[in-house]
Structure 1
Amino acid sequence: MMQEIKPDFSVVGGIALLVLILGISACTEAKTNAEQPAAKKKVSSMNIRFDIEGSVEPVFVRLKDSPTTQDFIKQLPLTLELTDYAVTEKIAYLPKKLTSQGAPNGHSAKAGDIAYYAPWGNLAIFYKDFDGIANSLIYLGKFDTLPKAFSGNKPFKVTISIDSK
């Protein structure tokens, strides 16, 4: 005589409940990630474009990925007036200060470097080498070729934007 096998509904019900909970959890996590505000997401493009007042051709710059650079990119596009400072660099104050999280203590700037000076909250573009290490100067990137406009004494405007190429 054959014995009838009865399924254990508590085990089957437990497995079904577990599958249901895991499915809901995965959907909730995907929705949360999709709704994350743009300011919280990491910006992937690290190429920026400089449109210099009075110049026909834009200049493109590749930035180093860092928390400070990510903060800078989130403020773009920006139109800034660059003024001469110490016959070495062009500076402009940013609308909001950038993070200095994880940044080295200082940087020895070279001609063509783009940097952020944390104490003042300004962008600095060096057209001459800086002798020594500037404390709280955070390297952002470098021009391949520095445009002539940067070596003159006159202030000029630039529009900095994310390179869409």
Structure 2
Amino acid sequence: MDIRVTIDGQSVDATLNDSPAARDLASLLPLTLDLEDFHGTERIADPPRKLTTDDAPEPQAPKTGDLTYYSPWGNLAIFYKDGPSASQDLLVLGHIDADADLLSGADRITIEAEQPRTVDTATTNSR
């Protein structure tokens, strides 16, 4: 699923995977969260409620730009550096197409569903 992410006023493209947890996050959109630094690797925030962890995908180590969910605490994390090794408790939900500098200094993020593009039928039909 394509999503639109705004980080401190700057729009960037992003995607969510098709996992149940990512679909659960999508059901909460639009969502604006204040971020704080965690361990010098990620920015974290608490969504309004915990996400489902049913049928979680195989664990994978997070990479720069990954949007993740840490199930024991119920928080979202955006990695601005590659994370530690894979963990059953850390679910990768998607990826944000932004450079590490933008991600590392992020204070506020807005996540919205990407609006489908409309086709201009007048232009299409005139060809």
| Paired positions, count | 116
- Asked if structure 2 preserves the Cα contact closer than 8 Å seen for 1:118 and 1:137, the reply is yes
Matched, 1:160 2:111: yes
The CA distance in 2 between the partners of 1:105 and 1:52, in whole Å, is: 28
Deviation at 1:143, TM superposition (A): 2.1
The code of the aligned residue for 1:163 comes to E
The CA distance in 1 between the partners of 2:112 and 2:54, in whole Å, is: 23
Q: 1:128-161 CA distances to partner (integer Å, 9 max, x unpaired)? A: 0113123310111112333633123xx6111111
What are the equivalent positions in structure 2 for 1:121-140 lying under 5 Å apart?
A: 121-140=74-93
The CA distance in 1 between the partners of 2:56 and 2:9, in whole Å, is: 35
Aligned position for 1:23 = none
The CA distance in 2 between the partners of 1:52 and 1:146, in whole Å, is: 11
RMSD over aligned CA atoms reads 1.6
TM (norm. structure 1) is: 0.65
Aligned position for 1:120 = 73
State the percentage of identical aligned residues.
45
Say which structure, 1 or 2, has more relative contact order (CA 8 Å, 6+ apart).
2
Aligned position for 1:53 = 8
Deviation at 1:121, TM superposition (A): 0.7
**Relative to total residues, which structure has the larger helix share, 1 or 2?**
1
What are the equivalent positions in structure 2 for 1:11-160 lying under 5 Å apart?
A: 46-55=1-10, 58-104=11-57, 106-146=59-99, 148-152=101-105, 156-160=107-111
- Asked if structure 2 preserves the Cα contact closer than 8 Å seen for 1:107 and 1:139, the reply is yes
Q: 1:8-36 CA distances to partner (integer Å, 9 max, x unpaired)? A: xxxxxxxxxxxxxxxxxxxxxxxxxxxxx
The CA distance in 2 between the partners of 1:75 and 1:108, in whole Å, is: 25
- Asked if structure 2 preserves the Cα contact closer than 8 Å seen for 1:83 and 1:90, the reply is yes
Query: SS state of the match for residue 94, structure 1?
Result: coil
Deviation at 1:105, TM superposition (A): 5.8
Q: 1:75-104 CA distances to partner (integer Å, 9 max, x unpaired)? A: 011110011100000100010100000114
- The structure that has the greater radius of gyration is 1
Gaps of 5+ in 2: 117-127
